[in-house]
């Protein structure tokens, strides 16, 4: 099997020849490599190291390679402004008749959240009332065909969407600490906003399910009990993720949730969502959930893209022997046969080339089930 056939077999829950190995890189991942490797596109680099390409949305793709999604988000009565402040910092403004929201980020991660008080929350609510997702198919088919040609024989493209309503407020708009204060102080206003955002986002899900030629979609939830309790998950996210999965299933597609945090206490609560897979399921010491336990709870049909222990990849006293020993114990015969893709989680981490080649050589030699 080649990489494309191997990953298609995992998505179809069919037998595959060996455990797939993938990764996700950006400029930082290759910062310490030779110039030739740094100047490769992400797809060229994946092919160079011989990995199976599980292309996670447009992450790492250049403008000429990126897939055009079949919709536009329109925000009436809102002027959006972006300011590059240098050094990786950026500032955003959202000007509406109700008021102005401002946010700051460093390398895409929030430094200042736009919602800090009830007035800001009302501005954000008004902004979402004026938000629509409309079909915009021009160029979509052509861009999908283009990336499919680049991936032919080596991998698959998996569309990705941003975090759902609750996760977006926690991660991008309010921040976890302030969100929980506001949920206690203004439960009606916060709940109404969460449900409003979800209703609007379902428009996006339907357009992807209907118009994109791929067998799946990943929603980037980043779910973790470090900032969401099982009770809050059941109150909001469980139902929202069921809607996401149901929309994908209505068009014969897989609904996969990117959940890269602590999930052990949420596994039972994931059952009612009807999810087909978990992207970035992380074992200890970084995560807290064993892949085999996830299969025990959620069933053998579960599709899992799981992280190889990053502490074995980037620790100061790295040795190839320790990485190989980790793979010997982690990649069990059960996981080789299951619908599992193994992933080197090195996006945003300067990672020497020998880490990739050591893992690649191990899978080529040992990744085949007995």
Per-residue pLDDT of the chain (370 residues; tens, 9 = 90+): 999 999 999 999 999 999 999 999 999 999 999 999 999 999 999 999 999 999 999 999 999 999 999 999 999 999 999 999 999 999 999 999 999 999 999 988 899 999 999 999 999 999 999 999 999 999 999 999 999 999 999 999 999 999 999 999 999 999 999 999 999 999 999 999 999 999 999 999 999 999 999 999 999 999 999 999 999 999 999 999 999 999 999 999 999 999 999 999 999 999 999 999 999 999 999 999 999 999 999 999 999 999 999 999 999 899 999 999 999 999 999 999 999 999 999 999 999 999 999 999 999 999 999 9
Does residue 158 contact residue 57 with C-beta atoms inside 8 Å?
yes
* Integer Cα distance of 177 and 170 in angstroms: 8
Helical segments of the chain, H only: 3-11, 35-38, 42-49, 118-129, 140-151, 165-168, 176-185, 187-211, 230-232, 238-250, 267-270, 291-298, 311-314, 320-330, 333-337, 353-366
Closest CA relative to residue 344, chosen from 330, 165, 232: 330
Phi, psi values for residue 127, rounded to 5°? -60, -40
Q: Is 317 in the same domain as 193?
A: yes
Q: Is 313 in the same domain as 296?
A: yes
Domain of 348, CATH number, reads 3.20.20.210
> Considering 129, 148, 173, which residue would you say is the last residue of a domain?
129
Q: Is 66 in the same domain as 82?
A: no
Q: Is 81 in the same domain as 205?
A: no
> Considering 129, 148, 169, which residue would you say is the last residue of a domain?
129
Closest CA relative to residue 165, chosen from 204, 138, 135: 204
> Considering 94, 129, 164, which residue would you say is the last residue of a domain?
129
Residue 345, Cβ neighbours under 10 Å: how many?
21
Closest CA relative to residue 225, chosen from 260, 263, 257, 258: 263
Q: Is 13 in the same domain as 115?
A: no
* Integer Cα distance of 281 and 257 in angstroms: 10
Q: Is 141 in the same domain as 256?
A: yes
State the residue range of the domain holding 26. Answer: 3-71+135-366
Q: Is 23 in the same domain as 109?
A: no
Q: Is 256 in the same domain as 342?
A: yes
Helix axes 187-211, 238-250, angle to 10 degrees: 20
Q: Is 207 in the same domain as 243?
A: yes
* Integer Cα distance of 135 and 40 in angstroms: 34
Does residue 194 contact residue 170 with C-beta atoms inside 8 Å?
no
* DSSP, res 173: I
- How many separate domains does the chain show? 2
Q: Is 286 in the same domain as 312?
A: yes
Q: Is 294 in the same domain as 350?
A: yes
Does residue 197 contact residue 174 with C-beta atoms inside 8 Å?
no
Residues forming beta bridges with residue 131, ordered by sequence position: 75
Q: Is 105 in the same domain as 250?
A: no
């Amino acid at each position: 099997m080649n990489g494309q056939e191997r990953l298609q077999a995992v998505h179809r829950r069919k037998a595959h020849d060996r455990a797939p190995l993938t990764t996700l890189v950006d400029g930082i991942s290759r910062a310490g490599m030779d110039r030739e490797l740094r100047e490769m596109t992400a797809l060229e680099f994946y092919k160079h190291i011989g990995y199976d390409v599980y292309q996670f949305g447009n992450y790492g793709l250049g403008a000429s390679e990126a897939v055009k999604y079949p919709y536009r988000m329109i925000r009436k009565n809102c002027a959006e402004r972006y300011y590059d402040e240098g050094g990786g910092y950026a500032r955003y403004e959202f000007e509406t008749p109700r008021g102005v929201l401002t946010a700051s980020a460093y390398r895409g991660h929030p430094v200042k959240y736009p919602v800090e008080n009830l007035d800001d929350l009302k501005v954000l609510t008004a902004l979402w009332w004026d938000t629509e997702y409309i079909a915009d198919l021009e160029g979509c088919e052509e861009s999908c065909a283009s990336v499919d040609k680049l991936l032919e024989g080596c991998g698959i493209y998996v569309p990705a969407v941003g975090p759902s309503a609750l996760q977006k407020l926690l991660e991008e708009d309010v921040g976890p600490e302030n969100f929980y204060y506001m949920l206690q102080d203004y439960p009606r206003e916060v709940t109404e906003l969460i449900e409003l955002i979800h209703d609007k986002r379902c428009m996006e899900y339907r357009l992807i399910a209907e118009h994109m030629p791929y067998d799946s979609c990943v929603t980037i939830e980043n779910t973790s009990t470090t900032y969401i309790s099982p009770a809050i998950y059941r109150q909001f996210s469980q139902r929202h993720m069921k809607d996401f999965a149901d929309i994908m299933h209505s068009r014969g597609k897989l609904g996969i949730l990117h959940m890269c945090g602590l999930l052990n206490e949420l596994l039972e609560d994931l059952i009612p969502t009807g999810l087909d897979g978990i992207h970035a399921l992380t074992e200890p010491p970084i995560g807290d959930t064993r892949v085999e336990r996830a299969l025990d709870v959620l069933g053998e049909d579960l599709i899992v893209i799981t992280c190889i222990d990053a502490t074995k990849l980037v620790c100061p006293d790295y040795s190839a022997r320790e990485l190989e020993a980790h793979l010997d114990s982690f990649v069990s015969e059960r996981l080789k046969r299951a619908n599992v893709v193994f992933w080197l989680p090195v996006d945003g981490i300067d990672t020497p080339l020998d880490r990739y080649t050591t893992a690649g050589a191990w899978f080529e030699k040992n990744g085949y089930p007995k």
